[in-house]
């Protein structure tokens, strides 16, 4: 979900007692999973994660950048840049964590695989909440193994009340029994941000300041980059 950030890792093996204590801490946690291309991550993404975390009293929300997203156009920025931007964007909130499981797994990104990998990290006793927007919820029936996905997690749909409700979905739809979290609509999207940058317009306020500085320092989405407009 090219990742190789060039970070050298020192592996320290914990003793059995430490492993046991870690397992106890993970037991019973309420953990959100928020996947996406994050191309780039922006204020709307952070607002969605915050709304879900506050409404559902989540202990943590994993942001999971997709490597090769299923049912979507390929991202414009590299996976390394998108991971770096997510790290910068979530650094100020202790509830928000980065997971690179989709980036490290070869092939297309499927949420059912993401959930299995995050469960390994979060602990088998953690309650998992898959956070999606209204548009994504409508497409859930097209996702790989949607019934398995619905059985493994609580699906959380975040959006305006007039965007989508359970009664808008047919019986048997994987999001029909989802938990719906309402939040105001934010007029920001990755497409809007990329278009602004490609045309030399400012994006101040659309993304966190640290992300904006990173984008400009790397020349991402500029006319000189490999910018591709979504159609």
Instruction: Write out pLDDT tens, residues 116-131.
Output: 999 998 998 999 999 9
209 assigned to some structural domain: no
Distance between CA atoms of residues 149 and 155, nearest Å: 8
Q: Which residues is 97 bridged to in the sheet?
A: 62
In a domain, 10, yes or no: no
Whether residue 193 is contained in a domain is answered as no
Instruction: Report the pLDDT value the prediction gives residue 194, as an integer from 0 to 100.
Output: 96
Q: What is the spatial distance between Cα 116 and Cα 81, in angstroms, rounded to a whole number?
A: 25
* pLDDT at site 224: 61
pTM score of the predicted model: 0.82
Residues paired with 127 in a beta bridge: 30
| CATH number for the domain that contains residue 147 | 3.40.50.620
Distance CA 130, CA 179 (A): 10
Domain count, the chain: 1
Q: What is the DSSP string of 45-73?
A: HHHHHHHHHHHHT-SEEEEEE-SSBTTSP
Residue 224 lies in a domain: no
One-letter-per-residue 3-state SS of 123-181? CCCCEEEEEEEHHHHHCHHHCCCHHHHHHHCEEEEEECCCCCCHHHCCCCCCCCCCEEE
Per DSSP, the three-state class of 228 is: coil
Residue 187 pLDDT: 84
pLDDT of residue 14: 32
pLDDT of the residue at 71 = 63
Can you tell me the distance from the alpha carbon of 117 to that of 70, in angstroms, rounded to the nearest whole number? 17
Q: How confident is the model over 77-90, as pLDDT tens digits?
A: 999 999 999 999 99
In a domain, 16, yes or no: no
Is 215 within the bounds of a domain? no
- Can you tell me the distance from the alpha carbon of 137 to that of 130, in angstroms, rounded to the nearest whole number? 11
- 220 is a domain residue: no
| Spans in the chain with pLDDT lower than 70 | 1-27, 71, 224-231
101 in a structural domain: yes
Close Cβ partners of 7 (under 8 Å, ≥ 6 residues apart):
none
Domain span holding position 148: 26-187
For every residue of 181-212, DSSP letters joined together read EE-------HHHHHHHHHTT---BTTB-HHHH
């Amino acid at each position: 979900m090219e990742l190789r950030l060039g970070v050298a890792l020192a592996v320290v093996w914990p003793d059995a007692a430490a492993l046991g204590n870690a397992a106890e801490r993970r037991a019973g946690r309420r953990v959100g999973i928020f996947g996406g291309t994050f191309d780039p991550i922006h204020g709307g993404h952070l607002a969605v994660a915050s709304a879900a975390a506050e409404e559902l009293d989540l202990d943590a929300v994993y942001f999971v950048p997709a490597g090769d997203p299923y049912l979507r156009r390929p991202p414009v920025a590299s996976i390394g840049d998108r991971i770096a931007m997510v790290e910068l964007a979530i650094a100020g909130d202790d509830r928000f964590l980065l997971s690179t499981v989709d980036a490290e797994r070869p092939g297309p990104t499927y949420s059912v695989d993401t959930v299995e990998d995050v469960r390994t990290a979060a602990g088998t006793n953690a309650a998992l909440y898959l956070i999606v927007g209204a548009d994504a919820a409508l497409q859930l029936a097209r996702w790989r193994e949607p019934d398995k996905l619905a059985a493994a997690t609580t699906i959380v749909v975040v959006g305006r009340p007039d965007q989508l409700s359970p009664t808008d979905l047919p019986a048997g739809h994987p999001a029909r029994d989802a938990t719906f979290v309402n939040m105001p609509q934010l007029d920001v999207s990755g497409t809007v941000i990329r278009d602004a940058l490609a045309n030399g317009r400012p994006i101040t306020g659309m993304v966190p300041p640290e992300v904006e500085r990173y984008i400009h320092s790397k020349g991402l989405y500029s006319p000189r980059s490999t910018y591709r407009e979504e159609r």
